Amino acid sequence: MSPVSYGMPNRKFKKNAPPARCARLLASETMIQSKVYMDWNATAPLLDEAREAILSGLDMAGNPSSVHGEGRAAKAALEQARRDVAALAGRDPAHVTFTSGATEAANWVLTPDFRMGRSPLPVGRLYVSAIEHPAIREGGRFPRERITEVPVLSSGVIDLDALDAHLAAHGKASHAAMIAVMLVNNETGIIQPVSEVTELVRAHGALLVVDAVQAAGRIDLAEHAGEADFLILSAHKLGGPRGVGALISRGEALMPAPLIRGGGQEKGHRSGTENLAGILGFAAAAKAAAIDMGERNARIATLRDRLETGMRHAAPDVIIHGADEPRVANTSFFSLPGLKSETGQIAFDLEGIALSAGSACSSGRIGESHVLSAMGFDPKLGALRISIGPATTEADVERTIEAFTRIAGRRRMAGAA
């Protein structure tokens, strides 16, 4: 990955400053000026292909709803983008509805107000796994008293027996049940057994919503979540622009009531003139993600394994959460006993490494991880997430290991003092 320059101001040294201190300051400046980006789960850097597609969309004068030539050209580009996004998910393009992002998609689909054709199909209760992203855990348009949390095992995998018991108790007397579960956890990278969840859901006549945001481009969505009723995607996790996402349904007969009403765009499911430039960027990123996915992720897994080997060598007491479970190739979520999340994130930032303490969707707040808590860990333990991407290099990984080694060493010295 190309170095990121932050334009540091010129450092003025005090007269007769110790040479060693000057050297450390200069080394620090050099480090920061070529920062290593290891936070791809928060957002992926914009791909060149996506940037070009965005610019082409900005140059299109027509509104996709207009009937003149310019409008028809914009509509054609929009529909091609719909096909490209659908292909990544292995779904019918007719069932892709574009939104302003995954959070809007979640708020739209998580609702008690569904329709089967022209008939209402009330949904009585929402069941969410305990490790869901905040956009799902908030429950969309369900009132708080109609949301039930399903526990996970200490491994970080949803407790299927508990889910089965909840659905059996729910029955059908209080209308349909909806289950929301992520395919890949955004903190640990653990792949959830969505195929088995789907079997339970079908047996109980419930609806299934799958957050596939962190899974898209990293595993085959059709293989792992092909029978889910709804999939949620986000462009910027793929190297597309921020502010664009999609809800992909299994069919058109069963759909949630619109969240945004107006001119009837997107078949009346999501009104408002489509963000054509953003959607074209989304589609370009989706196409790029589908190319050589297996080969790309095998290379990323090698880098991730090298990183974790280096961390274990530097600090044998490091805890790598989910290391024994199926994970996507790019994610490492770890705790270093004695190091708080906020302290660790700042320490790595000063070392020139950009990483996170988990979800980046909480307005910059660094709080205790609900994922760690759900897995049975003391949330005060703290954890940091390294997530890498296609542009990450071996040199980036080695610099991260070196930074980790220095931080772990300072922790030991602080403890000895």
Give the whole-angstrom CA distance, residue 192 versus residue 363. Answer: 27
Residue 306 near residue 368 (C-beta atoms within 8 A): no
DSSP collapsed to 3 states, 353-400 = EECECCCCCCCCCCCCCHHHHHCCCCHHHCCEEEECCCCCCHHHHHHH
Give the whole-angstrom CA distance, residue 94 versus residue 86. Answer: 9
From 31, 160, 361, 366, active-site residue: 361
Residue 122 β-bridge partners: 113
* 361 a catalytic residue: yes
Q: Where are the beta strands (DSSP E) in 267-330?
A: 319-321
Residue 386 near residue 332 (C-beta atoms within 8 A): yes
Query: Which pairing describes strands 245-249 and 384-387: parallel, antiparallel, or unpaired?
Result: unpaired
Give the whole-angstrom CA distance, residue 96 versus residue 391. Answer: 29
Q: Which two tokens stand for residue 28?
A: 């620090």
Give the whole-angstrom CA distance, residue 269 versus residue 265. Answer: 7
Coil, strand or helix at 181: strand
Residues catalogued as catalytic: 361
